[in-house]
């Protein structure tokens, strides 16, 4: 190739009148030759050449990128696994795995083995937070942040969370008109979880529930999530990724991520300026730093607060929306849940973090909703450590990006009976589902990097769902039967409006006392 280039230079300098068209033809020919060499190498010489998958996907990452931008990418990947098995090469250097043992082997505790690290391309903007930090920094940040998610901290935070649930129920009563006015619960759940996490993180809510509308910051957050997904997939084009993202991602959208981080920094400064002993997460992180003797930098404090706003709100709201839809779609499941909740308590005041842990059918409904409609719908890629690794008894070369799409795995008929049907009883020992690989349903991930807020998320979900079911009878509004099928995925779920008709229970249609004080 170098000899050919030298000959071309000599020819150009020897013939100053060489036509531009000839130069263009030579350049085009060389480019095509390089592309052909690249594709041939990926198909026949690459370390992943033995992994099954579509040949075109193995040659170039264009089909992989196009699949992401269709918004239906996970459905396509599921079809690929149905055709090729648990391992599918979905790009020259990316393997998708759909097997219940894979996540633990890829991300679990490795007992002296090096960690399969997070993929820098996917987590390019998260180096300062607990999700994207390297192994050493992650351990330090987790020790500090764990104080805000301990059992004691959760009990201290419960009264504040209960007040927002009180306000949610009040606002639903005020707006449902006895079931005549269907309400979009995707909004109401988002407003609730954003208010809760705003207070938990910064000591003040977004006032979404109070005003029954999104705070401007919330819109910034949604668009930031889209930006991260779009830029992340484009950055996989090594040399032109940044250029592509600059041209293909609207500047206004790209600025939203910067706005989110800037707003987080302002809120952190305001919170640090208030001397208070409130058990919010910033306070717990500061006290955790002192106890661990390992200070978090200001940048780390801001980055993790910004992360908590997203991770502590949107994921919970997604699950609650999905669970409400699935209950409305399956009235017999809703009836059984109503019976459990309404017969387990003498009054609504008994419904709290502790008591809802004793409701097995509620837990089964939430677990089945997490399987059916997992909030973490992205790939969460890892890079195989140098030297390679064995995943489900198959050697995967070092440097390979491995993706495990939760939705694809949780809907794999090889491991779950009737995977596209909603059956909470699969979690309660029903014989029909005895061969299901339920241990592989890990919506909060596994290993040393599993979700630090798992127990708080479960407590919130149980509390909100139990109190909704206690207070209301509800059903899907007309035209909502296909709500699930109208969801799209561009990094996060893109949820359409979900209309639900709420009817306050007899004797439960008056507000409890005064307006909740927030």
DSSP secondary structure letters along 58-92 = HH-SHHHHHHHHTS-HHHHHHHHHHHH-SEEEEET
Other CB atoms within 10 A of residue 512 CB:
12
| Cα–Cα distance, 121 to 28 (Å, whole number) | 30
Query: Is the confidence at residue 510, as pLDDT, over 50?
Result: no
- Dmax (CA) for the chain in angstroms is 96
Q: How many CB atoms lie within 10 A of CB 284?
A: 22
Residue 42's SS3 state is helix
Per-residue pLDDT tens for 46-57? 999 999 999 999
Distance in angstroms (rounded) separating the CA atoms of residues 15 and 333: 81
Homologous superfamily, domain 135-376+443-504 = Cytochrome P450 (1.10.630.10)
Q: For residue 166, which of 348, 37, 2, 290 has the smallest C-alpha distance?
A: 348
Residue 486 confidence (pLDDT) above 70:
yes
- Tell me: pLDDT of 79 over 50: yes
pLDDT for 123 equals: 82
Residue with tokens 């909030």: 375
Mean pLDDT, rounded, for 201-212: 87
pLDDT at 271: 84
Q: pTM of the full predicted structure?
A: 0.89
Q: Answer for the pair 80, 88: CB distance below 8 angstroms, yes or no.
A: yes
User: What is the predicted pLDDT for the residue at 189?
Assistant: 97
- Mean of pLDDT over the chain: 87
Q: How confident is the model at residue 280 (pLDDT cuts 50, 70, 90)?
A: confident
Tens of pLDDT, residue by residue over 222-274, are 776 776 676 677 778 776 656 666 655 556 656 766 777 788 888 888 888 77
Q: Check residues 9 and 117 and name the one with the higher pLDDT.
A: 117
- Read off the pLDDT of residues 175-192 as tens digits, 9 standing for 90 and up: 999 999 999 999 999 999
């Amino acid at each position: 190739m170098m000899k050919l280039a030298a000959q071309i230079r000599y020819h150009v300098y020897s013939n100053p009148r060489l036509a531009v068209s000839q130069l263009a033809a030579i350049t085009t020919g060389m480019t095509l030759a390089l592309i052909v060499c690249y594709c041939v190498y990926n198909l026949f010489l690459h370390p992943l050449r033995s992994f099954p998958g579509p040949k075109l996907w193995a040659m170039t990452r264009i089909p992989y990128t196009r699949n992401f931008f269709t918004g239906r990418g996970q459905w396509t990947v599921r079809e690929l696994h149905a055709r090729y098995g648990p391992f599918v090469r979905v790009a020259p250097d990316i393997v998708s795995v759909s097997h219940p043992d894979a996540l633990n082997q890829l991300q679990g505790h490795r007992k002296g083995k090096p960690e399969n690290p997070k993929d820098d391309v996917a987590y390019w903007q998260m180096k300062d937070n607990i999700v994207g930090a390297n192994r050493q920094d992650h351990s330090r940040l987790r020790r500090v942040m764990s104080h805000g998610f301990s059992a004691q901290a959760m009990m201290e935070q419960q009264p504040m969370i209960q007040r927002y649930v009180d306000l949610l129920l009040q606002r639903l009563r005020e707006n449902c008109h006895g079931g005549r006015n269907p309400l979009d619960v995707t909004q109401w759940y988002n407003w609730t979880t954003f208010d809760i996490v705003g207070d938990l993180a910064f000591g003040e809510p977004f006032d979404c529930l109070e005003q029954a509308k999104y705070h401007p910051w919330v819109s910034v957050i949604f668009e930031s999530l889209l930006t991260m997904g779009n830029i992340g997939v484009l950055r996989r084009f090594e040399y032109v990724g940044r250029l592509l993202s600059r041209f293909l991602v609207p500047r206004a959208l790209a600025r939203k991520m910067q706005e989110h981080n800037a707003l987080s920094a302002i809120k952190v400064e305001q919170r640090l300026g208030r001397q208070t002993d409130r058990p919010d997460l910033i306070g717990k992180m500061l006290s955790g730093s002192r106890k661990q003797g390992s200070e978090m930098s200001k940048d780390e404090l801001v980055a993790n607060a910004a992360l908590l706003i997203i991770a502590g709100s949107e994921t919970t709201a997604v699950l609650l929306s999905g669970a409400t839809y699935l209950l409305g779609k399956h009235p017999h499941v809703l009836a059984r849940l109503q019976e459990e909740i309404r017969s387990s308590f003498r009054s609504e005041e008994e419904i709290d973090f502790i008591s809802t842990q004793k409701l097995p059918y509620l837990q089964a409904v939430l677990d089945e909703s997490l399987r059916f409609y997992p909030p973490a719908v992205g790939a969460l890629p890892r890079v195989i450590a140098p030297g390679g690794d064995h995943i489900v008894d198959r050697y995967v070369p070092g440097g390979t990006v491995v993706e495990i799409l939760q939705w694809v795995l949780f809907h794999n008929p090889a491991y779950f009976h009737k995977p596209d049907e909603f059956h909470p009883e699969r979690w309660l020992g029903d014989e029909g589902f005895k061969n299901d690989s339920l241990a592989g349903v890990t919506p909060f991930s596994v290993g040393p990097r599993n979700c630090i807020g798992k127990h708080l998320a479960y407590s919130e979900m149980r509390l909100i769902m139990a109190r909704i079911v206690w207070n209301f009878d509800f059903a899907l509004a007309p035209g909502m039967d296909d709500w699930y099928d109208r969801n799209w995925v561009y990094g996060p779920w893109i949820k359409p409006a979900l209309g639900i008709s709420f009817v306050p229970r007899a004797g439960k249609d008056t507000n409890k006392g005064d307006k909740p004080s927030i």
